Amino acid sequence: MKARLVETKKGTRCRVLEAGSGAPLVFLHSAGGLLRDNPFLERLAQRYHVFAPEWPGYGESTGDELLEDMLDFALHGWDLVDALGLRGPHLLGHSMGGMIAAEMACLAPREVGKLVLAAPAGLWLDEHPIPDIFAMLPYQLAEALFADPAAGQQLLTGGADLSDLEALKEFYLVNQRRLTMAGKILFPIPNRRLSKRLYRLTAEVLVVWGSADRLIVPVYAAAWAAQLPAARVTTIEAAGHMLPYEQPDLFARVVGEFLG
């Protein structure tokens, strides 16, 4: 995929990965950001014109201080769509990105093609409290995020070995910056009352969940279904919270079948 820097009207500068052709599809990443390899995006680029912006606070993207709350985040999503010159793109959001995509769609329901929410954050069930990602040691992240933590650890760090102190420091710094940003909408509880606004959605919605998600457990898929009675809900086996990365082929196929 090729990368370029896009400047929004607000003044953020975001690195955007881009590939493929066809209907525009904007992918919004999770609190962990884009990983080094994102094979599911390449699969999707075989059918769609895929754009994957990195949020301020992630990678080379800057303007962290310009975004402070949920409204800022959601409007920034639309600012990016505008800066990319897109009309009515499909939105595909993963985890935190799903929360942002859903907010974007609530704000401007008629600007969205179709909406795909992959293990989205944004709802909270008292009887199923989501583990606190802000209170985890680096090695605990993979356990929470992947059905297969050992393989997940490799994906998460781009192969770096966290028992090496320098690698750990590097990972720590980058991760602190990312989660500083994510904390603005996820800390201390990842619920910014999205549920009050979901009635506004008009686009077709797919909710897709990993059956082995230990971070936001699959019970939440049912909670989304209850909020969005018209939504299609699908589960992918042998995938945890990082389902796009753990089952890239299956994930891309499920998304493609829905988008058409």
Partner 1 sequence: MKFTWFNLMPWPYLPDDFRQQHRSVWVDIPNTLYDPRKGHHVYHTYLDQLEYAETLGFDGIGCNEHHQNGYGLMPSPNIIAASLARRTSRAAICVIGNSIAGYNPPIRVAEEFAMLDVISGGRLIAGFPVGTPMDTNFCYGQIPALTRDKYREAHDLIMRAWASDEPFAFDGKYNQLRWVNCWPKPIQQPHPPIYIPGGGSIETWDFCLDHDYNYSYLSFFGYLRGKSLLDGYWERVASRGKDESPYRAAFAQIICVADTDAEAERLYAEHCLYFFNRCLHVFPPFADPPGYRTMATIKYGALAQLTLARQKILENLTWKQLVDERFVIAGSPQTVRQQLEECIKGLRIGHLFCLFHNGDMPDWKTRHSSKLFAEQVMPHLRDLWPEWKHDERWWMHPMDDRLRPEERRPGAEKSGAEWAR
**Binding site residues, partner 1, CB under 8 A:** 68, 134-137, 169, 172-173, 175-184, 187-189
Least distance from partner 1 to the Cβ atom of residue 67, Å: 10
Closer Cβ to partner 1, 41 or 75, answer by number: 75
Contact call for residues 46 and 60 (beta carbons, < 8 A): no
Closer Cβ to partner 1, 189 or 238, answer by number: 189
* Continuous H helices in 27-147: 39-44, 70-83, 96-107, 138-145
Closer Cβ to partner 1, 181 or 250, answer by number: 181
Least distance from partner 1 to the Cβ atom of residue 62, Å: 12
Least distance from partner 1 to the Cβ atom of residue 173, Å: 7
Q: What angle do CA 93, 198, 87 make, to 5 degrees?
A: 55
Measure Cα distances from 108 to 6, 236, 238 in Å: 22, 29, 35
Closer Cβ to partner 1, 184 or 253, answer by number: 184
Least distance from partner 1 to the Cβ atom of residue 99, Å: 15
Closer Cβ to partner 1, 162 or 207, answer by number: 162
Question: Distance between CA 172 and CA 30 in Å, rounded?
Answer: 17
Going by their DSSP bridges, the two strands 90-94 and 24-28 should be labelled as: parallel
Q: Dihedral (C-alpha) 1, 255, 7, 190: value to the nearest 10 degrees? A: -130
Least distance from partner 1 to the Cβ atom of residue 215, Å: 15
